[in-house]
Amino acid sequence: MAITTMLSAGALFGGSAYADQTLNSIFEVGQSKITAGVQSQKRIDKLADETATLLQEFKTVNKQIEGLRVYNAQLEKQLQSQRDVIKDLEESIENVTVMERQIQPLVLRMLDGLEQFVSLDVPFHADERAKRIELLRNNMERADISVAEKFRQVLEAYKIEAEYGRKLDTYEGSLELNGQEREVNMLRVGRIALMYQTKDTQLSGAWDAKQGAWVPLDSGAYRSAILKGIRIAKKQATIDIMNLPVLAPEAAQ
């Protein structure tokens, strides 16, 4: 009995030890699976985060692509507009070249007409007007002055000549009177009358366009009137009616 009991107790203890070993193995396997599961979950979470990040980046890039499409479409419209402008400019340049070839002869004809007009006009400011035309002639031959500038200069000369016809003017000059050079005061009333009066106011005269010469005036009739006109032109007297010699108008030829 004693031996049997000892054997049974040994078997019991041996069986219990085996069971404990088995349970430990099971626990270890379970712990390994749990650890593997945790690691797998971490990888899954990481992949999920990476996927979410990539998705957000995809959406951002997609919006950028859409914005670039709109921007490129707008640029294409601008480029087309610029191409149209370039085409118009090229046509304008061609037209300007044609116009430049036509304007140059026109400017020369205008200058010829101006010079002829001055030569036939009342001879006031003769030196000044002649120098202006000479300067324009010289500018016509200069390559560093554009055709547009030459045209502007000739138009400016026409404008100056037009202004002469609307103003009362006086200036000093010299004339040969009775074979003697005399200093005189000139009085110009537009283009309708050009008169002179010596500094001592003793001699007066006027330009006669028909004769193309200076003719003396009756000092008693016009001396005071011419002197008054000179003072008005110098703004030394108020504007008033003046009795001056004016040629009667003639029909144009």
pLDDT digits (tens, 9 = 90+) for 157-212: 999 999 998 889 999 999 988 888 999 999 999 988 999 999 998 999 999 988 88
Q: What tokens does 10 get?
A: 């040994």
CA angle 67, 72, 74 (to 5 degrees): 95
CA–CA distance, 91 with 88 (Å, rounded to integer): 5
- The model's pTM is 0.59
Query: What does the alpha-carbon distance between residue 157 and residue 128 come to, in Å, rounded to a whole number?
Result: 12
Band of the pLDDT at 19, cuts 50, 70, 90?
Answer: low
Domain chopping of the chain, boundaries: 103-163, 168-233
- Determine the pLDDT at residue 125: 93
Q: Mean of the per-residue pLDDT values for the chain?
A: 83
Residue by residue, DSSP assigns 62-121 as: HHHHHHHHHHHHHHHHHHHHHHHHHHHHHHHHHHHHHHHHHHHHHHHHHHHHHHHHHHHS
Q: How confident is the model at residue 114 (pLDDT cuts 50, 70, 90)?
A: very high
Given this model, what pLDDT does residue 60 score? 87
Question: What type of residue sits at position 46?
Answer: K
Mean pLDDT of 221-241: 89
What single-letter amino acid sits at 28?
Answer: E
Mean pLDDT, residues 52-60 = 86
